[in-house]
Homo-oligomer: A and B are copies of this chain.
């Protein structure tokens, strides 16, 4: 519980940009944990002691511990029967229908001025989509947890601007060079005639390489030196993003007095105590010394954990197999996902975790792992597996008797690119936002039709009735918001080498997303309980993990999926004149159709030699169809690229994050100044006493 100490000018940037006529300008004031014996340090005005969010937290603290029983000994205890004695019990028993903090007035035009309305008008409204967010006021109204989310989202959106610009430049550069460049010219040349081997076992005909002309031209947009540069750029961008976020977070923590934030000794979750009602082994909590029911570690905890995580692993594998094996082209397996996340919650319940934080972290990791596998496995499949283990004409590898899928005529990169475009635009921009905005509106409309409540009656209802009609702000609401954004971050960093427009689409999406989320919290949900959290929690680790995976993934996409390295090797080692002329002629392998065996009926079409994409020896070689020297040469170059790229990026990013201090220098001085002034005041006052 803090109070003001002394005013000093320390405005934040966004405070300066805010319209001061609407949101009162707030000076940064020195704050200090309140102690009674140093009363002289604090302001006199008791009304200003606590802000709106703190008050609702205090009320909730009291309600959650106020016993509805006559047993005086249990007053304000964290003991076993908390689930039976507090407001939760009353709700469970049906005496109350629910308990929630109230919104401040109404947001609709024409209602009396209040914080909610002001936030709606100048933050959540569409017109403000380019304005800075009044984060300080969001914090005061919704509490630190939600304010930190919007801070993060705003910061992420800002950081996307340079990435989008560079991405766009790279894209235009790609467009510029794609038409006149060599492999495309050769493929589209009407005088050349490459008869390609069929892409599947039955039905498929021999085909002319010219058919893939447009695909090759498009894939050249994304498959050039610019993309390599952009992949390096985005790897550094990811590191800078995390480093600068740490600094931003430190700044917000200081401004919001979360710097020395020590969590209150967390009580056990009510559900946890309810689950353990039948457990007879009690154990003293080592901190508080109070008796709590206890699960023996080796006998109970370990088997439950093992089972829980092995089931999760099994599910994830199942998802991978399903996506890769059967439905590689579908964007995601929505139905299965629903069942999976239900199961994840059940499993986490089983784990019987004591505090809310443990529970949240566990469920976050589980759900994220499932979503990651679900969304990313089809993309990973296209990027690294599809068309790579097909074997060669006449000796295809089979899997349960079926030949492996091959990439389309233009190569795997273009397929990857199309998939990403679908996800980034279709799913992220359109489907998600419709789900978030349109469907709740529809539900509300239907509800209104059914219950036939007139607008006037509604406006006149007492605030608790009005709020009761809104959806309850569930504990996991913010989780899904974070999840959506983190998955997006993953798409645009992990696969940036295949789709440089990713950051741009993400930027557009997020500018909308901020306002969508703001509208949701202000108009569609009950006011959530203000929670104090100093950071974005386990999501930071997840983001860090993604940025590391991105480095590997980009190295492999450029080296293995794109044609960049083979072209380079051709130019430097095989081309007679140091250009890409005759690249296709010399790199497409030859196959003698008389070597087709058994079921393959394509022999009859009168073609003697067909071509296929691979580096193998021609039919007239003694080791025919073995990998050629060029294959090993290109493979060595590809792997050398991976080694150089990864090590370079790891060294540079490591150096960058070592160089950038986690706390901005200016902030450090402010913190030290604050400590110094407090000390001076204390020393002076104590001397005067």
Contact = CB atoms under 8 A, between A and B. Distances in A.
Interface of A: 36-37, 262, 265, 286-288, 541, 545, 548, 552, 628-629, 632-633, 635-636, 639-640, 642-643, 646-647, 650, 654, 658, 669, 672-673, 675-676, 686
16 contacts: A36-B686, A262-B675, A265-B672, A265-B676, A286-B673, A548-B650, A629-B629, A629-B632, A632-B632, A632-B635, A636-B636, A636-B639, A639-B640, A642-B643, A643-B646, A646-B646
Nearest to A679: B265
A287 B669 contact: yes
A643 B639 contact: yes
Given A288-B676, A636-B639, A642-B639, A647 B552 contact: yes
A262 B676 CA distance: 12
A232 B673 CA distance: 48
A632 B548 CA distance: 30
* Residue among A286, A541, A545, A658 with the highest chain B CB neighbour number at 10 A: A286
A683 to B, nearest CB: 11
Given A647-B552, A658-B541, A287 B639 contact: no
A669 B286 contact: yes
A548 B654 contact: yes
Contacts of A646: 643, 646-647
A492 to B, nearest CB: 22
Contact of A287 (B288, B541, B545, B676): B676
A548 B636 CA distance: 24
Nearest to A260: B260
Nearest to A633: B632
Given A288-B676, A639-B642, 10 more contacts: A36-B686, A37-B37, A262-B675, A265-B676, A541-B658, A548-B650, A628-B629, A632-B633, A636-B639, A646-B646
Instruction: State how many copies of this chain the complex holds.
Output: 2
Name the residue in A262, A548, A639, A676 with the highest tally of chain B Cβ atoms < 10 Å from its Cβ. A639
Contacts of A642: 639, 643
A150 to B, nearest CB: 27
Nearest to A639: B639
Name which of A36, A628, A642 has the most chain B CB atoms within 10 A of its CB: A642
A669 B635 CA distance: 54
A250 B476 CA distance: 34
4 shortest interchain CB distances as A-B pairs: A639-B639, A632-B632, A635-B636, A629-B629
Contacts of A669: 286-287
Contacts of A545: 654
A288 B639 CA distance: 56
Nearest to A629: B629
Contacts of A288: 676
A233 B650 CA distance: 21
Nearest to A262: B675
A632 B639 contact: no
Contacts of A686: 36
A263 to B, nearest CB: 10
Nearest to A623: B629
Contacts of A676: 265, 287-288
A636 B643 contact: no
A427 to B, nearest CB: 28
Nearest to A36: B686
Contacts of A650: 548, 650
B643 A632 contact: no
Contacts of A647: 552, 646
Given A37-B37, A646-B646, A654-B548, A673 B636 contact: no
A606 B643 CA distance: 45
Contacts of A265: 672, 676
A6 to B, nearest CB: 13
Nearest to A559: B643
Contacts of A640: 635, 639
Central interface residue in A632, A669, A676, by most chain B CB within 10 Å: A632
Given A541-B658, A647-B552, A672 B287 contact: yes
Contacts of A673: 286-287
Nearest to A640: B639
Contacts of A287: 669, 672-673, 676
A287 B643 CA distance: 47
A200 to B, nearest CB: 30
A636 to B, nearest CB: 4
A192 to B, nearest CB: 28
Nearest to A37: B37
A257 to B, nearest CB: 18
A429 to B, nearest CB: 33
Which interface residue of A545, A629, A650 has the most chain B CB atoms within 10 A? A629
A17 B661 CA distance: 41
Nearest to A646: B646
A74 B548 CA distance: 55
Nearest to A556: B643
A259 to B, nearest CB: 13
Contacts of A658: 541
A656 to B, nearest CB: 14
A625 B459 CA distance: 91
A13 to B, nearest CB: 19
Nearest to A671: B287
A287 to B, nearest CB: 5
A153 to B, nearest CB: 25
Contacts of A635: 632, 636, 640
A354 B136 CA distance: 37
A555 to B, nearest CB: 9
Contacts of A636: 632, 635-636, 639
Contacts of A633: 632
A541 B640 CA distance: 29
A36 B38 CA distance: 12
A676 B658 CA distance: 36
Nearest to A541: B658
A640 B639 CA distance: 6
